[in-house]
Amino acid sequence: MEESNSEALAIITCNTILALRKYMKKKEANQVAVARACGLSAPVISQYLQERYQGDVAAVTKKIQDFLALEEEREDAFTGPTFVRTQQAEDVLMVCGLAHKHKYIGLIQARAGLGKTTTLREYLAHRAGACMITASSWNCSKGAIASLLGRAVRVSSPYSTLTDAVEHIVNKLGAGALVIVDEAQHLPRETLDGLRYIYDVAGVGVVLSGTLAVSARMSDKRVGINYEQLASRIGCRRTLCEKIEREDCKKIIEQAIPHPDKDVVDYCLQKANGPGAYRSLVRYLEMAVSKAAGEKENVGLRHFRAAEEALMV
């Protein structure tokens, strides 16, 4: 009986190894990425693929099978639309283009969910010389931003001080570059001033994208004097329109539902113009499509209602 179980495990393990190798080839994924996704170490994955793992093979096999099953579900699911040139996206692209061409500092500001980051990535994907970093509340210091920017422009030379790091970054950027900083509302005055210095010395375009907080600080008479050097260099700015138009909403829906009913478009438009904007719209769309697929039905308003109940939003 024990021998039979061992043979069965050997067959399952062999099939799992073949499936994992096929997945890695298809996705061009390395062992480190797969290990992280499975909750295992890279050496374990390496040994497992070579059939040399001496630990709990059954447990590792189960983790890999669960990972592959989830990836298969994701492959079949609608996971959000490709880029759509909405009214808001046009404004973001315009600011990026002007800042890049004329070496301006551009400012993009809007509430969350209007597609700023998605559009910035679209610009990044199609324009040579552009690089992007994302600020946050835990990596907003001058040193942290310099480190992120150094990675973005692939600075490989070692440096011992922040001044050295900035010098390497400036030399690497080149005159045709555009530096995009997303979530710029997290940056304190000192870091913004550091970016202003890089802008001046490197002679490149810079785009700051985030909420209304950055602009509000610059225009606040109590603290605005601290931002005068930066504010005076802003060559173009846009506050994205909060209202989402029906045609833009429909373009997004049609990537998942070729011919949506009027009531579906009406429902989605209402959700898109509520909290979360496009982000909420995509969330409802993903869930509704998933529910319809599970029931082998065309997507209708009923599935959106069910999605709303499931998401509890």
Model confidence pLDDT, tens digit, residues 289-306: 988 888 888 899 999 999
Model confidence pLDDT, tens digit, residues 175-222: 789 999 999 999 988 899 899 999 999 999 999 999 877 777 666 555
Mean pLDDT of the chain: 89
Model confidence pLDDT, tens digit, residues 88-103: 999 999 999 999 999 9
Residue scoring higher pLDDT (85 or 71): 85
Burial readout 114-141 (b: 16 or more C-beta within 10 A, e: otherwise): bbbbbbbebbeeeeeebbbbbbeeebbb
Model confidence pLDDT, tens digit, residues 107-151: 999 988 999 999 999 999 999 899 999 999 999 999 999 999 999
CATH 1.10.260 fits 2-76, yes or no: yes
Residue scoring higher pLDDT (230 or 260): 260
- Counting residues of the chain whose pLDDT is more than 90, the rounded percentage is 63
- CATH no. of 87-239: 3.40.50.300
Whether 225 shows a pLDDT value over 80: the answer reads no
pTM: 0.78
